[in-house]
Structure 1
Amino acid sequence: MSDKVALLTGTSSGFGMLASLRFLEKGYRVVATMRDLNKKSELLERARGLGCESRLDCMKLDVTSEADIRHAMEQVREKYGRVDVLVNNAGYAVGGAAEEVPMEEWRKLMDTNLFGVIAMTQSVLPLMREQGSGTIINVSSVSGRIGIPGYSPYCTSKFALEGFSESLRHEVSGFGIKTVLICPGAYNTSIWDKGFDHIHVTEASPYRPLLDAVLGYSRRTAESAPDPDEIARKIVWLAGKKSPSLRYTYGKGSLQSMLGKSLLPWRWFERILAVALKKSDTGK
């Protein structure tokens, strides 16, 4: 794998950092990008501990900045001349009732979670087409398949990412390029803490009882969430897979939830979700 190059976004923590380390372990050259390079120290230290630091290249890249993307891709093309894997991982969560989340916050979220993915994909496709190969792995979420009350901005961004990825897969498969969605459920990453900090709600909000229930459910789920390294390993496995499917779902209860939505009458599924939130609200 010494000539294989993996380019990842959002690598200062969570899935991005862990996947970078797993790619290094597999022998890839890793271009680990992040918005703030001051946050690269943990990744560098852990790569050093693995004896892989020489194959790690940390670059500044804000996926909402066309200039950052252009500059990073110029460096990648000059240094490596190829990109074998793109992992679009950068993203964050915003919560609140749809009526109350400011439009500015909706736009900022979509700019990162959706338009940032599209811009990164556009930037690597010419190189992958020249190579006649490549894998694009978009980190989605179960929230891209099941709408969750109180997280409509985040769900909207991930639902859109699912549609983009499905269309993209059809468009680029003829060039030897694979498109894959990985859809984690709840895992123990910093997106939970950041998401809790981005809940838009006031004491007087008519949605306060619902949002309190959602927040309580989310916090309890986060406390028992599994190790995110499971997803990091799956990402690397998918990168090496010859003929991957479009979508892979992981996480406790995730497959059951998606099957429930697909197979149950909508009224039943809606009722199950309402009951789960009510139990969370009462602490039962």
Structure 2
Amino acid sequence: MSRRVLITGGASGLGLALANAFLGRGDQVLIGDLAETRPDSLPDGADYISLDVRSQQDWDAALAHVRETWGALDVLVNNAGVATGGRIDVEAISDWERVLDINLLGVVRGCQTFTPLLKEQRSGHIVNTASLAGLVHGPGMSSYNAAKAGVVALSETLGFELAPWDIHVSVICPAFFRTNLHESLQGKDIAMEATAVKLITKAQMTADEVAATVLKGIDGHKRVILTDRLGRQAYWTKRLVRPAYNHFATKAGAKLARKTRDA
């Protein structure tokens, strides 16, 4: 049965890969992104609206569009996000405010806006894109880790809160994969951002591979969708072998200190 799907940040990266995957299944897809007009990168068959996740006005317009066009929504994918990183004494408060407004509050706005519709339907699935950084908190990434951990906490909370209305909630927690996310970096900590660029651009997994795993997780109504072996290893090491996790994270902190001492 064809599903009606709204994806934010769907004009590139994981959002675009998810749009292609849903369309490949015969689903109806509405992509929301920053461009005022439909980007050339979008696949045939996908509808488009301009949607800045920082704007409640844009969210209200998206809800109106969904109600007028489809009358209902089966899957909301809160995927829009930016990359950031930096040491606590280097990264600016303005960088924190930017990443929290987009990566965390952008997801909150989406959930708040569409939950009344999903409750009316007594059905639906909210899918929030976090990161392995929301579960495993390495050094030098405090703002990004905090924002993504907030998305994980929000998703777990809503999973229990909305279950009485048969609304499922999943959170996606991928490790690094090849995407254009690094293009959104614009913070003060240049040394940390250079490391992030290298990790993203040289990652082995592609956005299409991550999207395929995500769709399987959605089908299985998984609350937490881990997309790769590295992520599963890190997550379960933290959960089950905490001394080993602490050892590796402490070593990473020492390595970061050596690398950036003169930066």
Question: TM-score, structure 1 length as denominator?
Answer: 0.83
> Partner residue of 1:261?
238
Size of the alignment, in residue pairs?
258
Q: Note if 1:42 corresponds to 2:32.
A: no
Moved over 6 A (4+): 277-282
- Residues 1:188 and 1:58: Cα distance change in structure 2 (over 3 Å): same
> Partner residue of 1:207?
none
- Residues 1:217 and 1:165: Cα distance change in structure 2 (over 3 Å): closer
> Partner residue of 1:179?
169
Match of 1:95 among 85, 91, 97: 85
Match of 2:157 among 157, 167, 177: 167
Match of 2:247 among 271, 276, 279: 271
> Partner residue of 1:19?
18
Percentage identity across paired residues of the two chains: 29
> Partner residue of 1:192?
182
Which consecutive residues of structure 1, in runs of 5 or more, have no partner in the other structure? Answer: 203-210
> Partner residue of 2:141?
151
1:220-239 map, 5 Å: 220=199, 222-239=201-218
Which consecutive residues of structure 2, in runs of 5 or more, have no partner in the other structure? Answer: none
Give distance in 1, aligned partners of 2:234 and 2:211: 22
Give distance in 2, aligned partners of 1:16 and 1:134: 19
Q: Note if 1:58 corresponds to 2:34.
A: no
Note if contact 1:141-1:184 (Cα within 8 Å) is conserved in structure 2. yes
1:100-139 map, 5 Å: 100-139=90-129
Q: Residue type matched to 2:245 in 1?
A: F
- Partner SS for 1:7: strand
Name which one, 1 or 2, has greater alpha-carbon Rg.
1
> Partner residue of 2:219?
240
- Partner SS for 2:162: helix
Q: Residue type matched to 1:6 in 2?
A: V
Note if contact 2:13-2:207 (Cα within 8 Å) is conserved in structure 1. yes
Instruction: Return 272-281 or 227-236, whichever deviates more.
Output: 272-281
> Partner residue of 1:206?
none
Q: Alpha carbon RMSD of aligned pairs, Å? A: 2.3
- Residues 1:275 and 1:36: Cα distance change in structure 2 (over 3 Å): same
Give distance in 2, aligned partners of 1:63 and 1:220: 26
> Partner residue of 2:226?
249
Note if contact 2:213-2:227 (Cα within 8 Å) is conserved in structure 1. no
Q: Residue type matched to 2:223 in 1?
A: L
